[in-house]
Amino acid sequence: MARATGMIEILDPTAEDVPEELGLSETPPDLKGKVVGLLENRKYHADAFLGELKEVLLKEYGAAKVVYATKFTYSAACAEETLQSLADDCDVVIHAIAD
């Protein structure tokens, strides 16, 4: 039989780490000749939306190239390697969510 000790443990669910604030990057004047990254979150229809967006970026905005990447799952943070690859290879990145 368990004994009551009269103690209650309270857990704080807030994150302990404070994220670093980087601010916004400089906005390019246009996308002509730029490499655009598309990051998909794996939600329903995100891939279809980004497929259409890729064509618009290439044909109507003159993007030189579109790089496509996906997150493992929509509910988790993106892998650091994926983010670093997009940062290294792209002039701008669009993160898409859809349902």
4-51 residue pLDDT tens:
667 888 888 877 777 788 788 888 899 999 999 999 988 888 888 999
Q: How far apart are CA 90 and CA 66, in angstroms?
A: 8
CA separation for the pair 86, 37 (Å, rounded)? 6
Contacts with 90 (C-beta within 8 Å, 6 or more apart), sequence order: 35, 36, 37, 67
**Confidence at residue 4, expressed as pLDDT on a 0 to 100 scale:** 65
Taking only the tens place, the pLDDT of each residue in 41-81 is: 888 888 889 999 999 999 999 999 999 999 988 888 899 99
Max Cα-Cα span within the chain: 73
For the chain, the domains span: 35-96
Which pTM was predicted? 0.73
Q: Are strands 65-70 and 92-96 parallel, antiparallel or unpaired?
A: unpaired
Query: Between these two residues, 1 and 73, which has the higher pLDDT value?
Result: 73
Q: Six-digit token pair at 5?
A: 């000790």
> Distance (Å, rounded) from C-alpha 87 to C-alpha 6?
53
